[in-house]
Chains A and B, each alone.
Chain A
Amino acid sequence: MTANGITQIVLYLVILTVLAYPLGIYMTAVYMGTLRIPRWLAAPERGFYRLVGTSAEAEQGWKGYAKTSLVFMAVFAALLYLLLRLQGHLPLNPDGLASVNPWVAMNTTASFVTNTNWQYYGGETTMSYLSQMAGLAVQNFVSAAVGMAVLAAVIRGFARRSAGTVGNFWVDLYRSLVYVLLPLAAILAILLVSQGVVQTFHGAATATTVEGAQQTIARGPAASQIAIKQLGTNGGGFYNSNSSVPFENPNPFTNLLEMLSILLIPAAQVFMFGRMVGARRQALPVYAAMMAMTVIGLAVALPAEQHGSQVLRDSGVNLAAGDGSSGGNLSDKEVRSGIASTVNWAVATTNASNGSVNGGHDAFTAAGGAVPITNMFTGEVIWGGVGSGLYGMFFYIVIAVFVAGLMVGRTPEYLGKKIEAREIKLAVVGALFVPTMVLVLTALAISTSRGLASIFNPGAHGFSETLYAYDSQSNNNGSAFAGYGATEFSALLGSVGLWLGRFAPLVAALALGGSLAAKKTAPPSAGTFRTDGPTFVVLLVGVVILTAGLMIFPALTLGPIVEALQ
């Protein structure tokens, strides 16, 4: 760890908070319907509602909300699959790429509709401009907006009293897309182009190098897609090596912008939550708990990567930081990012369900690689995906107040709502379904010859690759130990994780929101466990670490821990 490295990371967290706070206030207005919308913007909004047969005032119960969102996503998935399968016959394909094969198309469809962006393909060698723009980039917007919409509905469940409805899916979807994601993405895209991120419809460029060889340089409409893949916790790169490629992320300024974009909306949603439930102080412990877990991850990964891997240390080359070298484990990292920026990104992208990377995680040290695995395994509730992170955290919050209730012997409450058997059941399903599935899918992949065929690195690291693959897909992250290869088997197994990992928590969260909305709100009494103070931060962090940490620990033992001991 260098002083500069720590400074970079601290500044990053401070700037993030400074940006997230006002965005949280703005988003509160968006979802409360109190945003003052100029007439020229109100007309298309009404038009969209008319098109889908609803109005801004119409309301849905949680079941109607869930059904609408699921059908909408199913239709979108069908279209995306067709587009990928037919891209070879469609326009905007200047580099003449073939149609995507059925297995990759199936996995990619699941991956993008679920806000994951796991990539079993290299972007510049597989996807036409049409597929990137009209297929994948659209999903980057829409899948993010679905998560944001569902979060708004669940928060209304906490805020409303004796209510039968939680909002209107179409309204929340439209407002997430047009009033939050689109303006942010447009601003970010322009900023990125101004720094050198490519944005062109000209095909690849050809250069005759200084030494006389030919070099083909892949280009395309990248900045517009990168902006939303960072903001919408999507993560799918335009290029195979994602944001490590200079055409996606040319300098330390764009690196900071892209890294801030990873956590901006999830962090803002915590502030939004406090305001929407009318108790701003309630947001602070949640924010503090997320920040604390981020710092824990950084505190493990940063020294590990700066120290370097055993192989590099044994080689005898100079790993020291300073004097014109960042030192450390620079394997599969870029010089301009160095150790601190790459570790910061790796932790942020797996706290969130983003999954974009600015360096290769497969080459991380054992401890450095264990942090992303553990971050994802929490269900990505440390900030988490846009919407999905905070609604995932609600499961842990419910469990935490339940545990506190057991300790003091009172009916647990949160924000004046009694937490009863139904809420506990939904929270347990929401919190434990995905981690359990990760372990089952990993076990299947590691105990079958077809599963083993995907492994690239020998020894314990091969197990880590497998664990990472199903952890990432089931939690809708999308980053990878990228040596793990695409086979029909792994694409199918991964697709199971992708779909179930998205929809099980989503439906459980909506059911929780619906159940809470129907309850009365009781005023706090002397015996109410306070959820707005430091005690609750400790309790919440403890519950997350105990729940997810104990489940992942045996698996970590087989992978990173064995590796660290080698």
Chain B
Amino acid sequence: MIRLLGRSALAVVVLTLVFGVAYPVIVTGFAQLVFSDKADGSLLERDGKVVGSRLAAQAFTQPRYFHPRPSATAPEYNAAATTFANLGPTNPDLAKAVRQRALAILKLERPYNPGLTIGDIPVDAVTTSASGIDPHISPANARLQAARIANARGLSPDRVSQLIDDNTDGRWLGVFGEPGVNVLELNLALDQETS
């Protein structure tokens, strides 16, 4: 038994060195050599300063920007403490939160979309994402916000539509996953267009 304990301890040390140190260090070395931008978090820069990551939503509240999905992190869009909202399918708090978000959207978008009703709001606009930093909104959600953006920036609706399409990540091979509009990249493109 003592001998087995000793052998196990030796095995533990060796396996920790190989799988806990050598393996991640070698993978990191290779990753940094070949894909350093991606390995470091796909950060986006503007004028030499990091403005965020293409893989993380950030807060946008001004009317001239597309807004991301709701986030359950504290504070919102905290890319250092991701979390689900964990509200169950029958939770009254979920009903309340969804209703408040829907009303806020109607108030914000109706001036630019006369006759907009709650049934026109796609579900991703009123539900929290899983990560709290979902970088995408659905194309339908982007189209809903397009009129406001066009108005705020004096752009033609066609041009805004075009920018939405340019910043949409499609399904892989046209089959897997769902299309999503990258909000940060789209907003950066808008700023470039009208600055």
Contacts and interface: CB of A to CB of B under 8 A. Distances in A.
Nearest to B132: A241
Interface string A149-193: 000000000000000000000100000010000100110011001
Interface in B141-187: 141-143, 169, 171-172, 175-180, 184, 187
Contact of B81 (A124, A206, A366): A124
A554 interface: no
Contacts of B128: 331-332
B193 interface: no
Nearest to B69: A335
A124 B80 contact: yes
B194 interface: no
A253 B172 CA distance: 6
B82 A317 contact: no
A360 B88 contact: no
A247 interface: yes
A359 interface: yes
A316 B118 contact: yes
A326 B90 CA distance: 21
Would you call the interface of chain B mostly helix, strand, loop, or mixed? mixed
Interface in A191-228: 193-202, 204-211, 213, 215-219, 221, 223-225
A247 B177 contact: no
Given A48-B14, A134-B21, A312-B123, A334 B134 contact: yes
Interface string A293-333: 00000000000000011111011111100011111111111
A246 B123 contact: no
A369 B125 CA distance: 23
Given A334-B134, A337-B178, A363 B21 contact: no
Interface stretch (A137-145, A514-522, A525-533): A137-145
B90 A331 contact: no
A360 to B, nearest CB: 3
B113 interface: no
Contacts of B115: none
A335 B23 contact: no
A51 B7 contact: yes
Contacts of A369: 89
B178 A363 contact: no
A329 B143 CA distance: 20
Contacts of A360: 84-86, 130
A75 B129 CA distance: 40
Contacts of A198: 38-41
Contacts of A218: 79-82
Interface stretch (A261-269, A280-288, A382-390, A454-462): A454-462
A189 to B, nearest CB: 5
A246 B98 contact: no
A278 B130 CA distance: 46
Contact of A359 (B7, B43, B130): B130
Contact of B140 (A207, A253, A255, A325): A325
Interface in B99-142: 99, 102, 118-142
A335 B124 contact: yes
A25 to B, nearest CB: 25
Given A334-B129, A335-B178, A205 B43 contact: yes
Given A190-B30, A240-B82, A359-B130, A219 B56 contact: no
B175 A8 contact: yes
Nearest to B136: A335
Contacts of A8: 175-177
A245 B131 contact: yes
A122 interface: yes
A246 B131 contact: yes
19 contacts: A52-B8, A53-B3, A71-B8, A76-B8, A124-B80, A138-B19, A190-B27, A197-B38, A209-B52, A215-B79, A217-B41, A253-B176, A312-B98, A315-B126, A332-B85, A335-B136, A341-B176, A360-B86, A363-B86
Interface of A: 4, 7-8, 11, 48, 51-53, 67-68, 71-72, 74-76, 79, 122, 124-125, 133-135, 137-138, 141-142, 170, 177, 182, 185-186, 189-190, 193-202, 204-211, 213, 215-219, 221, 223-225, 239-241, 244-247, 250-253, 255-256, 308-312, 314-319, 323-338, 341-342, 357-360, 362-366, 369, 456-461, 464-465, 481-483, 563, 566
Interface of B: 1, 3-5, 7-12, 14-16, 19-21, 23-24, 26-28, 30-32, 34-35, 38-43, 46, 49-53, 55-56, 58-62, 65, 69, 72, 77-92, 94-95, 98-99, 102, 118-143, 169, 171-172, 175-180, 184, 187-188, 191
Q: What are the 4 A-B residue pairs with the smallest beta carbon separation, nearest first?
A: A252-B177, A324-B139, A360-B84, A244-B130
